[in-house]
Amino acid sequence: MRLSRLFRREPPPRIAAALYDSVVARGRMPHWYLAGAVPDTLDGRFDMIAAILSMAMLRLEGEGAGAAPAASLAECFVDDMDGQLRQIGFGDMVVGKHIGRMMAALGGRLGAYRDGLAHGTFDAALVRNLYRGVAPDPAALAHVAAELRALRTALDGATIDDLLAGKLP
């Protein structure tokens, strides 16, 4: 046995990896950027994935599924964002700081969307977080709001096992 094998550690598989992959695939769907007028930029893509990820995390939170699935989903997000930052040229010295900001942004969006859905201010939360304070055409906002509300409702009907298997409704 080679000595390098003793010290090489493969990270354990993330239990929410398939769910995260489905969230990202959903966030890349063209209708968000066409009919929903979400800016098709790095920031816009991040914001869209964060919105869908928030809906999934709210579902896991509402189920009382325990901390493991939600923590795993957050870890998948961190792993992905770390890789994305490195791919676009950020160095080791600043990646951690940017990941911290992204996690804070995700936490803020999660709270804003939770409150917005509960108190009827979801559109305002979307304008602030998804459109960065610049209100889009009302039809575009209505499209995104309706799609995210429908996703949130459909997630309530999905089992945790199906979600963790990557089966987003």
Per-residue pLDDT of 17-54, as tens digits, reads 999 999 999 999 999 999 999 999 989 999 999 999 99
Q: Is residue 157 part of a domain?
A: yes
Burial of 94 (0-12, 13-18, 19+ CB in 10 A): exposed
Q: Is residue 38 part of a domain?
A: yes
Residue 63, amino acid: E
Q: Is residue 7 part of a domain?
A: no
Q: Is residue 86 part of a domain?
A: yes
Q: Is residue 1 part of a domain?
A: no
Q: How confident is the model at residue 102 (pLDDT cuts 50, 70, 90)?
A: confident
pLDDT at 11 over 70: no
Q: How confident is the model at residue 3 (pLDDT cuts 50, 70, 90)?
A: very low
Q: What is the pLDDT of residues 118-168, one digit of tens each?
A: 999 999 999 999 999 999 999 999 999 999 999 999 999 999 999 999 999
pLDDT at 58 over 60: yes
Give the pLDDT score at 87. Answer: 76
Q: Is residue 102 part of a domain?
A: yes
Q: Is residue 21 part of a domain?
A: yes
How far is it, in rounded angstroms, from Cα 74 to Cα 72? 5
pLDDT at 64 over 90: no
Q: How confident is the model at residue 12 (pLDDT cuts 50, 70, 90)?
A: low
Q: Is residue 2 part of a domain?
A: no
Counted domains in the chain: 1
User: What phi and psi values does residue 16 have, to the nearest 5 degrees?
Assistant: -105, 15
- Domain residues for the domain of 147 are 13-164
User: How is residue 136 written in tokens?
Assistant: 């889009």
